[in-house]
Amino acid sequence: MLNVVLAGLLTGLALIVAIGAQNAFVLRQGIRGEQVLPIVVTCLVSDVVAITAGVAGLGIVLERWPGVLPVAQVLGAVYLIGFGLHAAMRAWRPKGLDSGTGTRMTWQRAVLTTLALTWLNPHFYLDAVLMLGTVANSFGADRWWFLLGTLVASTGWFFGLGYGARLLRGLFARPSAWRVLDSAIAVVMGSLGVGLLLH
């Protein structure tokens, strides 16, 4: 049982800990200290829903109706490219954390942005539903222990990233640091979006 939980933990971390749109957003908001809890909880609930659905067999449904993924792919690509352009504009005119200008993100906007970055990303379905669902089901009756391991990984990662990012606040008090971060986010988002359109 413990080895199955550990397998779920390591597999979950391998898929979750990657530079992607969702993690970049969590990192940025964590550094800013804006709406971290709603964002982290939204990421976690999304993982719970998707991975549980995969373990329960939704992965089989997606394999039978693969036409769902191309639609999500186009929508996700458009959103990611738009998000990347917005980050590029922020990089063009960066502001430090304590500049006192601009508007703070509301929790509603934070949740909607997190949902879009998560659910409009077809890789989320492939990783959380198909991949983890398939691996989990290879453990037969112990698949729910595997699910527990993946959810522990998800919980630890998102809370660690969201609240651990505040350790970088001193560095990001300087506008130049935001220019580097937002430029990197623009490249990541834009590349992911273009990659989705090309594939």
Give the separation between CA 60 and CA 69, rounded to whole angstroms. 13
Give the separation between CA 190 and CA 78, rounded to whole angstroms. 9
27 or 41, which is more confident: 41
Output the CA torsion 180→168→38→41 (10° steps): 100
144 or 168, which is more confident: 144
Answer yes or no: are the C-beta atoms of 45 and 114 closer than 8 Å.
no
Output the CA torsion 122→123→126→129 (10° steps): -80
pTM: 0.73
101 or 118, which is more confident: 118
DSSP state of 125: I
